[in-house]
Structure 1
Amino acid sequence: MNRHSLRLRLVAGGVIAILIALAVSGGALVVVFERHVSRTLAQDLDVHLKQLLAGIDVDPQGKLVLTQTPVDPRFADPLSGLYWQVSDDHGRSLRSRSLWDSAMTLPADRLGPGETHQHEATGPGGQRVLVAERAVTLSADGKPVIVRLAVAEDLARVSAATLAFAKDLAIALVLLGCVLAAATWVQVGVGLRPLAALRRGVADIRAGRTRHLPSSVPTEVRPLVEEVNALIDAQEGEIERSRGRAADLAHGLKTPLAALAADASRLRERGECDVAQDIEAVGEAMGRHVDRELARARVRGRARGSAPASTSVKPLVGSIVATLSRTPDGGRVRFENLIADSVSVPLDRTDLAEILGNLIENAARHAAGCVRLTVDGSRPSIAVEDDGPGIEPAHLSRVLERGIRLDEQGGAAGLGLAIVQDVLDAYGWGLELSTSELGGLKAAVAPRPALLEKRSGPAENAAPSTTVAQQV
């Protein structure tokens, strides 16, 4: 996928947003879970503290005694992570067996009667523990004794539970992220589907199947469609005006050209043949320009807004050959029309006649004795070949440039093949020149994808001609 792709940008933006949202939510859930476990731990400590308070007492000698120990068996296991400790204001203390031979260092905290404080402290072996403590006042022989009770639990339990939760949560979030990424891909595809419809609409306009983009599009895209359709209408109007101006100009030149030809005839009758010949050559060149401009004005924009034309090739070629056979160049060559009766191409008959007429006339002018016409129906491709001197491969591309002639002789203006290509461009077709099997030039017209496919294949091994041709 191209890095400039709109789909890629939308999907990448959606995936990044999903990752950020999942990361933030995952971290928040871990924090919430840790707080929940800590609250649960604090509630358990409060229960143990109440059990410890229920069993503590002071004997007549003022010593601390424990009449009932907390029921949790971890208090009896050394360094189990659950501890209790009782001390009075005289420095006497009792400890759970789980503390073994150590004591908890409690902060200097002033406790009010009945108050329960919770805080973190350092337990046996450097453990980080959560401590819940409470102070009560007992009586021994009528003397008050302040007793400080503390219950603590190792916070490693909270850390372990949080880590296990985070691992399970990470797996769930990864799966959720994959599902959301796939949903984003589908959502973007559905959202961009109208653009694909617009692309097909533009292709239909280029192919001449329709004149405007479809109006049944989402609201967000409708302004773009309306602007494009308005642009198409404006462009078609400008093209139509340009065609009219070109046609008016060409028709306006025909009358002066006819008068110029008449003047040349009168000069010839007076015996001024050289001047008459020069005038006739100039008039012929100007007439050729006028005819080609009329053809280009006629064909430009023809495909847009009209149904695709279809022309049977063989009858048209037969008509062109019959006409050329009556000319001096056509009368001296043999035409081989190898085109099947069923072959037709999606081109207007007049435009196809303009194309083939130029190519066949050009081939007849330079052929030694044979002109062959064939069609490759799979593309389709129409080929005109001759057995003339051909064109050097190095010069083939220059021949298609406007006004270029490899010979500077003859009366033609050098526009033939270039004008053929102009007409083909209106239909999305192209012209390819190569060396014919007959030894001369092969001119093939075909849809552009077919030409591109052919050029990407193996090069022809035909030997190049050693003579510079005069085929323009």
Structure 2
Amino acid sequence: MPRPLPRSLTGRLVVTAAATIVLALALAAVSIGHVLGRFVMQDLDGRLDTQIVLLVRAVRPDGTVNPAALVDLPPFDRAGSGWAWEILAPGGSWRSASLGPAELPLPRGWRDMRPPPPPLPEPPPHPPGDGHLPPPGDLFLPPGTGGAVPPPHPLDGRDATGRWLHYRITSLPTSGGPVYILAAGPRAIVERPLRGAMAPLLLSLLLLGLFLTLALIVQLRVGLRPLTRLRVMMAEVRAGRLRAITVSEPTELLPLVEEVNALIAANHQAVSRARAHVANLAHGLKTPLATLRLDLDAPGRDPDGVLRVQVARMERQIRHHLGRARAAETGGAAVPASPLAPHVADLCAVLPRLYADRPVSIQTDVPEALAVRCDPQDLDELLGNLLDNACRHAASRVTVTARAEGRMTLLQIADDGPGMSPAAIAAFSAGRRLDESGAASGNGFGLLISRELAELHGGEVTLAPRDPRGLAVRITLPAA
């Protein structure tokens, strides 16, 4: 299922802000276009309404029309101009000169624009010798309008050629029946300037949107820079070069910094307590081991010296862990760089003699320049456990390869033995010893200790099956 938003905080802010900017600019374009359209339409309506006002003065109260009072304003007097008017009265119809013999196409529903009012009483007769126009005091103005022409209503339609026309229609109540006056003009007069204005407007809004998006990206870069600085400082803390995060701004991050520093302090205290327990245990074992070594020095107690070797090994382990405990108590020091090739070579020289009864060869490909940030004794114990397991289970060959991968060094120890089942690999990934899970035997402690040592130095140990058979153990450690 695709994600609606990116994973990064910057990506989410950019996407949501860009969508908001696009929506706001689209609404602005529609609003501005509507305002411009109304402005241009008002000019068109004004010209049509002016013509209607002149035509209204030619209508008598009885519904007849005085042809002598009909006036064609330009461009209603030019044929084919697209501007036209027509009067529909009970006694006939009159048209503008621009129509010629043709009739004005009437838009659909034009009679529904305004219901005709009831007819008025017959006005008194005009004096004889009226001529063509009624006296000024008898010009027709519908009652109840305050002396104003009834407001025309807009309507759109097409002419015979399919061209869009804009109509203004008004109806006059007369004693002879309703009189309808229609004036029309080409709607292209509105659309042409509107299109001409919208092109630069849309270009301006597009440039504005690009500028706002660019400004937003710059703002996010500047605003989120403290998070990058915080990440760098946390990496310094993890590497042991800093004991706490020291960030004074922005103020929104200070509560988070305080919580992270409190977590660092709590972890440091927990590690210190664990190291203290190790030191106490080592001190507790040191004296009994010293007594045991003295007892083994007595004649006949250890004729072949095997027990003294094991006691000496136990004392070296105790001294090692005591040293690490003291280092933790004093704040520790930077882990020195340990060249990888010499440690691998020493172990590969010893292990074939331990398995002399089996034809196991060890092939190595470890560059001399590779070094890792790992305590030398820890590195020997880590590699020794894994190489010992590989030689014990291999059919004939063990391969050791190493390469640099960014800030880490990848070391792989592979054998051609029976390998491990997916259940055993899953048990190891879950943190259980393999001898406890019943999936394997004889390598549970070694693998677990190796993984703990790798994780202690910022690395990891993973297992993977080989094709067609065998097991590959991958160790990653920080590169020096």
The answer on 1:345 being equivalent to 2:372 is yes
Normalised by the size of structure 1, how large is the TM-score? 0.59
For 2:168 and 2:365, how far apart are their aligned partners in 1? 100
Ranges in structure 2 where 5+ consecutive residues have no aligned partner: 118-141, 160-164, 174-178
The answer on 1:249 being equivalent to 2:281 is yes
Preserved contact between residue 386 and residue 447 of structure 2 (Cα < 8 Å): yes
The answer on 1:392 being equivalent to 2:406 is no
Which residue number corresponds to residue 337 of structure 2? Answer: 310
- Call closer, same or farther: CA 1:341–1:12 in 2, change over 3 Å: closer
How far does residue 240 in structure 1 lie from its aligned partner after superposition? Answer: 1.2
Deviates more, 1:221-230 or 1:425-434: 425-434
User: What is the CA deviation profile of residues 129-181 of structure 1, one whole-angstrom value per residue up to 9, with x for unaligned ones?
Assistant: 1247999xxxxxxxxxxxx9967234734764587369646676566555545
How far does residue 33 in structure 1 lie from its aligned partner after superposition? Answer: 2.0
How far does residue 257 in structure 1 lie from its aligned partner after superposition? Answer: 5.4
- Residue of 8, 17, 20 corresponding to 2:20: 17
Question: Alignment partner of 2:168: what SS?
Answer: strand
Preserved contact between residue 393 and residue 418 of structure 2 (Cα < 8 Å): no
The equivalences for 1:99-118 within 5 A come to 100=101, 108=117, 110=143, 112=145, 114-118=147-151
How far does residue 447 in structure 1 lie from its aligned partner after superposition? Answer: 2.9
Which residue number corresponds to residue 451 of structure 2? Answer: 421
Deviates more, 1:44-53 or 1:190-199: 44-53
- Call closer, same or farther: CA 1:213–1:94 in 2, change over 3 Å: same
- Call closer, same or farther: CA 1:428–1:292 in 2, change over 3 Å: farther
- Call closer, same or farther: CA 1:289–1:312 in 2, change over 3 Å: closer
User: What is the CA deviation profile of residues 311-350 of structure 1, one whole-angstrom value per residue up to 9, with x for unaligned ones?
Assistant: 345777799899x79xx95999999999887664322344
Preserved contact between residue 404 and residue 414 of structure 1 (Cα < 8 Å): yes
The equivalences for 1:161-172 within 5 A come to 161=192, 164=195, 168=199
Which residue number corresponds to residue 152 of structure 1? Answer: 183
For 2:323 and 2:54, how far apart are their aligned partners in 1? 106
Aligned residues: CA RMSD: 6.2
Ranges in structure 1 where 5+ consecutive residues have no aligned partner: 136-147, 450-472
For 2:65 and 2:25, how far apart are their aligned partners in 1? 58
User: What is the CA deviation profile of residues 358-378 of structure 1, one whole-angstrom value per residue up to 9, with x for unaligned ones?
Assistant: 567x4899699x999987465
For 2:390 and 2:22, how far apart are their aligned partners in 1? 72
- The code of the aligned residue for 2:66 comes to L
Which residue number corresponds to residue 96 of structure 1? Answer: 96
How far does residue 219 in structure 1 lie from its aligned partner after superposition? Answer: 2.9
The equivalences for 1:50-199 within 5 A come to 64=66, 66=68, 69-77=71-79, 80-83=82-85, 95-98=95-98, 100=101, 108=117, 110=143, 112=145, 114-120=147-153, 129-131=167-169, 152-154=183-185, 156-157=187-188, 160-161=191-192, 164=195, 168=199, 173=205, 177=209, 180-181=212-213, 183-185=215-217, 187-199=219-231
Preserved contact between residue 121 and residue 129 of structure 1 (Cα < 8 Å): yes
The answer on 1:202 being equivalent to 2:234 is yes
Preserved contact between residue 431 and residue 444 of structure 1 (Cα < 8 Å): yes
- Call closer, same or farther: CA 1:160–1:255 in 2, change over 3 Å: same
For 1:350 and 1:129, how far apart are their aligned partners in 2? 98
Which residue number corresponds to residue 294 of structure 1? Answer: 321
User: What is the CA deviation profile of residues 21-68 of structure 1, one whole-angstrom value per residue up to 9, with x for unaligned ones?
Assistant: 2333233223212321232123324554677799x799xxx9936479
For 1:399 and 1:20, how far apart are their aligned partners in 2? 53
Normalised by the size of structure 2, how large is the TM-score? 0.58
- Call closer, same or farther: CA 1:392–1:381 in 2, change over 3 Å: same
For 2:147 and 2:390, how far apart are their aligned partners in 1? 121
For 2:203 and 2:251, how far apart are their aligned partners in 1? 41
The answer on 1:226 being equivalent to 2:253 is no
How far does residue 72 in structure 1 lie from its aligned partner after superposition? Answer: 0.5
How far does residue 237 in structure 1 lie from its aligned partner after superposition? Answer: 1.8
Identical amino acids, percent of aligned pairs: 26
- Call closer, same or farther: CA 1:334–1:299 in 2, change over 3 Å: farther
How far does residue 264 in structure 1 lie from its aligned partner after superposition? Answer: 8.8
The answer on 1:41 being equivalent to 2:54 is no
For 1:101 and 1:381, how far apart are their aligned partners in 2? 93
Question: How many residues are treated as equivalent by the alignment?
Answer: 406
For 2:322 and 2:362, how far apart are their aligned partners in 1? 26
Preserved contact between residue 30 and residue 162 of structure 1 (Cα < 8 Å): no
